[in-house]
């Protein structure tokens, strides 16, 4: 009887334990899987953006600078979405930094994110003092978009160019172990 | 035997790592640096005439502006480019605008559209088309708008400034430093230019696919 009770209590704990992890696990999963098109647009000046350019947590960050009015950017955007989908949960984060003009956030950017159901993280950068912040992203950047930064801890590569999906994946592969 | 395998493995790892660092970054600007002599060009203006730097006998230099109709940044700067020409052409530094995009990719940057835009905005300067896309690569221009200030010297037209017009694309009234004005003023006064190179966001120049 006594032994049975212990087993019973133990089982109870186990169930509680499992339930606890299920809840926490679900929470984490849902947090990771929030899609950009379901969220409010986050808007930052460059000081606010910097943390997205130097998160040294062992994850690979693929950071793309784009705008809805930039045709080659819009063309390659599906490749970044595909990369996000294909490498989800594999320590690869995709961040799409929009350089759309602030007066276009409501009329262009937000509808664009919703219509295209963008899933990767989208944030807007509103900072007109470009000569100060462009070199901080990368000293070689002349300022044209599209431009992409890929980094993992202290290793960084910067691309002032358009990508195909295979080119983008090749660039990412250099960061995968 | 084991040692050789280890050696082969080690070598291949080194090769892989090295190749990872040497491939895939496409060089963007191999053009003029500060101090370079800019070659003259002969490009078609919207009035049908060919324009060269050597046509400007009395100029002290040039404000070469790579711009286009379709880039929102370029459009935001149109009025400021007109103002630059009005202020500095009489002082010997005229604006010369060059449209570098491939017009198959950007039909709205086509020759007729350029004429139209210049008329609408009242451009006071030539608006040239780099039809064969041979001039902008020499400058190393990567985007619109992209400014190069040249000073005419005995040796030729020397590149003195590369970059942005000012430090606020959004609001001309909120500008703190007018980089181009600062540079031309320094040249006119015979002083050293404070900011010789500046950066700004722009639209990548659209290059013809056959190239």
Helix and strand element counts for chain B (H, E): 5, 10
- How close A103 comes to chain B (CA, Å)? 10
Alpha helices in chain B (DSSP H): 2-22, 72-88, 111-121, 135-139, 179-189
Cβ atoms of B109 and B75 closer than 8 Å = no
Q: Which residues contact B161 (CB under 8 A, 6 or more apart)?
A: B34, B147, B148, B149, B179, B180, B183, B193, B195, B196, B197
Please report residues of B whose CB lies closer than 8 A to that of A102.
170
In whole angstroms, give the CA distance from residue A132 to residue B198. Answer: 9
Distance CA A66, CA A172 (A): 18
Task: Determine contact: B64 vs chain A, CB below 8 A.
Answer: no
Closest-CA residue to B139 (of B35, B31, B41) = B31
Tokens representing B53 are 């730097």
Beta strands in A25-176 (DSSP E): 42-44, 60-66, 92-98, 121-125, 144-145, 147-152, 155-159
The answer on pLDDT for B138 being more than 50 is yes
Between B25 and A24, residue with greater pLDDT: A24
Residues A95, A79, single domain; the answer is yes
Closest approach of A52 to chain B, Cα-based (Å): 19
Q: How far, rounded to the nearest angstrom, does the alpha carbon of residue A53 sit from its chain's CA centroid?
A: 11
Please give the residue of chain B at the shortest CA–CA distance from A168.
B24
Maximum distance among all alpha carbons in chain B?
Answer: 81
User: What is d(CA B180, CA B87) in angstroms, rounded to the nearest whole number?
Assistant: 12
Is A159–B26 a contact, with Cβ atoms under 8 angstroms apart? yes
Q: Above pLDDT 70, what percent of chain A?
A: 81
- Choose among B77, B78, B60: nearest CA to B158: B60
Residue-level pLDDT at A26: 46
- d(Cα A48, Cα A66) in Å, to the nearest integer? 17
- Distance from C-alpha of A37 to C-alpha of A8, rounded to nearest angstrom: 47
A169 and A128 share a domain? yes
* Same-domain check for residues A89 and A167: yes
**How large is the average pLDDT for residues B66-80?**
96
A99: closest CA of chain B, how far (Å): 9
Q: Which of B77, B197, B66 has its CA nearest to residue B133?
A: B66
Which chain A residues contact residue B199 at CB under 8 A?
Answer: 130-131, 134-135, 141-143
Query: A47-99, pLDDT tens digit by residue?
Result: 999 999 999 999 999 999 999 999 999 999 999 999 999 999 999 999 999 99
A150 and A165: one domain? yes
Residues A61 and A1 in one domain: no
pLDDT for A136 beyond 80: yes
Q: Which residues of A touch B183 (CB under 8 A)?
A: none
Q: Which of A144, A158, A177 to mutate to test the interface with B (most CBs of B within 10 A)?
A: A144
What's chain A's Rg over C-alpha atoms? 21
Q: Do residue A121 and residue A135 come from a single domain?
A: yes
Which residues, at least 6 apart from A77, have a Cβ–Cβ distance to it below 8 Å? A64, A66, A96, A116, A118
B27 touches chain A (CB under 8 A): no
A134–B200 C-beta distance less than 8 A: yes
Q: Does B117 touch chain A (CB under 8 A)?
A: no
Section B144-162 average pLDDT? 98
Question: What b/e readout covers B101-128, taking b as 16+ CB neighbours within 10 angstroms?
Answer: bbbeebeebbeebbbebbeeeebebbbb
Q: What band does A25 get if pLDDT is binned at 50, 70 and 90?
A: very low
**Tokens coding B189:** 């006064």
Instruction: Please report the sign of the dihedral spanned by the C-alpha atoms of residue B139, residue B140, residue B145, residue B149.
Output: negative
A103 and A159 fall within a common domain: yes
Tell me what pLDDT residue B145 has.
97
Query: In whole angstroms, how far apart are CA B165 and each of A66, A143, B114?
Result: 21, 13, 21
Same domain, A60 and A73: yes
Residue A134 to residue B143: CA distance in whole angstroms = 14
Determine the distance in angstroms separating the CA of A142 from the nearest CA of chain B, rounded to an integer: 6
Q: What is the pTM of this model?
A: 0.81
pLDDT tier at B16, thresholds 50, 70, 90? very low
Q: Are residues A43 and A60 in the same domain?
A: yes
Instruction: Catalogue all structural domains in chain B, each as residue range(s) with its CATH number.
Output: 31-204 (3.40.30.10)
**CB < 8 Å to B146, chain A:** 142
Q: Is the pLDDT of residue B119 over 70?
A: yes
Are both A145 and A114 inside the same structural domain? yes
Structural domains counted in chain A: 2
Which residues in B lie closer than 8 A to residue A107 (C-beta atoms)? none
Q: How many CB pairs under 8 A join A and B?
A: 86
- Residue B195, classified by CB atoms within 10 Å of its CB into exposed (0-12), middle (13-18) or buried (19+), is middle
For the CA atoms of B160, B71, A38, A43, the dihedral, rounded to the nearest 10 degrees, stands at 40
- DSSP bridge partners of B11: none
A83 and A136 in a single domain? The answer is yes
pLDDT at B4: 62
Check whether residue A69 and residue A125 sit in a common domain: yes
Residue range of the domain that includes A25? 1-32
């Amino acid at each position: 009887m006594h032994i049975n009770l212990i087993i019973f209590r133990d089982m109870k704990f186990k169930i509680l334990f499992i339930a606890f992890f299920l809840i926490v696990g679900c929470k984490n999963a849902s947090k990771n899987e929030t899609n950009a098109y379901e969220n409010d647009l986050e808007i930052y000046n460059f000081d606010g953006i910097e943390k997205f350019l130097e998160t040294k947590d062992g994850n690979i960050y693929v950071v793309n600078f784009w705008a809805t009015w930039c045709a080659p950017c819009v063309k390659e955007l599906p490749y970044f979405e595909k990369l996000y989908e294909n490498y989800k949960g594999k320590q690869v984060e995709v961040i799409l930094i929009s350089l759309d003009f602030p007066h276009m956030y409501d009329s262009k950017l937000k509808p664009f994110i919703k219509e295209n159901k963008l899933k990767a993280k989208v944030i807007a950068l509103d900072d007109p003092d470009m000569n100060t912040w462009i070199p901080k992203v990368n000293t070689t950047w002349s300022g044209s978009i599209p431009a992409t930064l890929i980094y993992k801890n202290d290793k960084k590569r910067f691309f002032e160019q358009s990508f195909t999906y295979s080119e983008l994946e090749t660039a990412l592969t250099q960061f995968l172990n | 035997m084991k040692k050789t395998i280890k050696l082969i493995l080690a070598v291949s790892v080194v090769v892989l790592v090295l190749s990872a660092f040497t491939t895939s970054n496409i060089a963007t600007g191999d053009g003029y640096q500060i101090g370079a002599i800019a070659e003259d060009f002969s490009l078609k203006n919207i009035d049908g005439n060919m324009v060269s730097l050597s046509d400007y006998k009395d100029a002290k230099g040039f404000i070469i502006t790579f711009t286009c109709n379709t880039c929102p940044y370029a459009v935001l700067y149109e009025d400021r480019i007109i103002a630059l020409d009005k202020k500095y052409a009489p002082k010997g530094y005229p604006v010369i605008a060059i449209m570098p995009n491939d017009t198959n990719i950007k039909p709205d940057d086509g020759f007729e559209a350029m004429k139209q835009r210049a008329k609408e905005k009242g451009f006071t300067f030539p608006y040239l088309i780099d039809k064969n896309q041979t001039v902008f690569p020499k400058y190393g221009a990567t985007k619109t708008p992209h400014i190069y200030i040249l000073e005419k010297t005995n040796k030729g037209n020397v590149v003195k400034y590369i970059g942005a017009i000012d430090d606020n694309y959004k609001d001309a009234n909120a500008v703190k430093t007018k980089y181009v004005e600062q540079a031309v003023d320094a040249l006119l006064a015979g002083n050293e230019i404070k900011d010789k190179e500046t950066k700004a966001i722009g639209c990548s120049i659209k290059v013809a696919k056959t190239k």
